[in-house]
Amino acid sequence: MLPILGRAPTSGVGDLSGPELAEAAHRVARRLPPGARVAISGSDETARLIAFLGADLAGCASLLVDPEWPDPAAVLDDARPDVHLDADAALGEDLGTEVPVGDESTRFYLPTTSGSTGRPKVLVRSRGSWLRSFTALGVPLDARDRVLIPGPLSSSLFLFGALHALHCGADLRLLGRWSARAAAEAAREATAVHLVPAQLSALLAVLEHDGGESALRLVICGGAKVDPALEARLAEAIPGCRLVEYYGSAEQSLIAVRHDERLMPVVDVEVAGGRLRVRSDLAFDGYLERGELVPAESDGTGDRAVQRPDGSLEILGRAGAVIDTGARLVAAEAVEAVLREVDGVRDVVVAATPHPRFGALVTAVVEGEVPVRALRAHARERLHPAERPRRWLPVDALPRTSSGKPARAVIDERLTSGGTL
């Protein structure tokens, strides 16, 4: 059975052609023990991608180390890798490993949860779960496309985009680290990009300010909901550019995809008691805890949802994202959605600040250059009194995970401890 790419790549990465990429991956594969767990570190994203592809050829399961994990030692202790591979270093001894190894059931990837709400967990995924996810995304690419991956491959969102592009025969442009200005410059030649809504907003801000042409014909957005105002900005800034939005998780892979107005499930879903449950052959195999595989115990996502009569989904946000303030329960993500309507708000996190009398104060941490009076006025107009933030904390930039999502656990800890954001 062929590895995750399914065939020899016709496309390249950066200055590497497809054949050069394949040969580099084979050189790595011959130096790995078949079926090992491999932790891949290094600063060069192209080298890390080659190491990952080589490990897959050898039937290995790879963990892409993220230096921004809050507790890297704990993550590595759960993964218990057999091999530590520094992609920046010279290759070791040729073991003569014959490749490819394994089939679709082979465990090829050890992703981690985003860490946005706590310490990342180590997951186990099979080749087949991602190969089927490529099909479920429903986005055709070919050799004429150049796909921009503007964040680190240690984020499964960006790795998924990179492998999907290679699987389809498209060229890749890897940035390695998010920069709105670098992404805007790369978008002059890239035809497609994978990112999260906050990054799309920042990218559009650069294009709106600087003007100029963009070659983008496709934006693939995950990680959070794209609000209508952001979608309208995309249509104005890059006329004719198509938006594909998907909803999923590191555990479940893709759950639903939106190609037009509707977010449609691509797996079997059920909404019971307002909670979304999933039955999927795209899902992960379980968690690693101190090197041992622990099967998943739940088919729930932790999200609240509504399923419409036509089968489409509306995701209402995390079930646990509720603030108890003055004996009223406030859905944080609903408040965030309203505040993002204000011009100049790039992103916002609504969280709880402990209070001795009310239990907690609804607190809005706002990224963007927006006067607090404008935010208060919008909140008075659009929100119930209990939902209106009592604390407003403007910041230049929200703390974020490597995938670009707001680091909610960091924000909660700083608000609880009285630290600065």
pLDDT digit string, tens, across residues 348-379 = 999 989 888 778 899 999 998 899 999 999 99
Token pair 């080298």: residue: 47
Give tens-digit pLDDT for 314-328: 887 776 677 878 767
Name the pLDDT band for 337 (thresholds 50, 70, 90): confident
Whether the Cβ atoms of residue 393 and residue 377 lie closer than 8 Å to each other:
no
Least confident of 17-21, 268-272, 307-311: 17-21
Which residue ranges form the domains of the chain, and what is each CATH number? 18-313 (3.40.50.12780), 322-417 (3.30.300.30)
Amino acid at 140: P
In contact, 46 and 15? CB cutoff 8 Å: no
Whole-angstrom Cα distance, residue 74 to residue 70? 9
Instruction: Tell me the percentage of the chain whose pLDDT exceeds 70.
Output: 96
- pLDDT score for 68: 82
Alpha carbon distance, N-terminus to C-terminus of the chain: 50
- Is 340's pLDDT higher than 50? yes
Of 3-12, 18-27, 236-245, 291-300, where does the model show the most confidence? Answer: 236-245
Residue 10 has pLDDT above 70, yes or no: no
| 58 vs 299: which has the higher pLDDT | 58
pLDDT at 45: 95
CA distance 293 to 286: 6
Q: How much is the mean pLDDT over the chain?
A: 90
Please report, to the nearest 10 degrees, the dihedral formed by the alpha carbons of residues 118, 154, 76, 31 taken in order: 170
pLDDT at site 126: 95
Mean pLDDT of 175-189: 93
Residue 116 has pLDDT above 60, yes or no: no
Sheet holding 218-221, edge to edge: 171-174, 146-149, 192-195, 218-221, 242-249, 253-258, 263-265
* pLDDT beyond 70 at 408: yes
- pLDDT grade, residue 5 (50/70/90)? low
Model pLDDT, residue 54: 96
Q: Is the pLDDT of residue 79 over 80?
A: yes
The pLDDT value given to residue 219: 98
Identify which of 227, 255, 254 has the alpha carbon closest to the alpha carbon of residue 243.
Answer: 227
Q: What is the pLDDT of residues 186-218, one digit of tens each?
A: 999 999 999 998 899 889 999 998 887 899 999
Query: Over 90: is that where the pLDDT of 182 sits?
Result: yes
CA distance 70 to 401: 10
- Bridge partners, residue 270, by sequence: 277
8: pLDDT confidence band, cut at 50, 70 and 90?
Answer: low
> Is the distance from CB of 164 to CB of 157 less than 8 angstroms?
no
Q: Is 13 helix (H, G, I), strand (E, B) or coil?
A: strand
Interatomic CA distance for residues 222 and 196, integer angstroms: 5
161 CB-near residues (< 8 Å, 6+ apart):
147, 149, 194, 220
For position 2, what pLDDT does the model report?
62
Check residue 1 and give its pLDDT.
43
Consecutive H or E run containing 244? strand 242-249
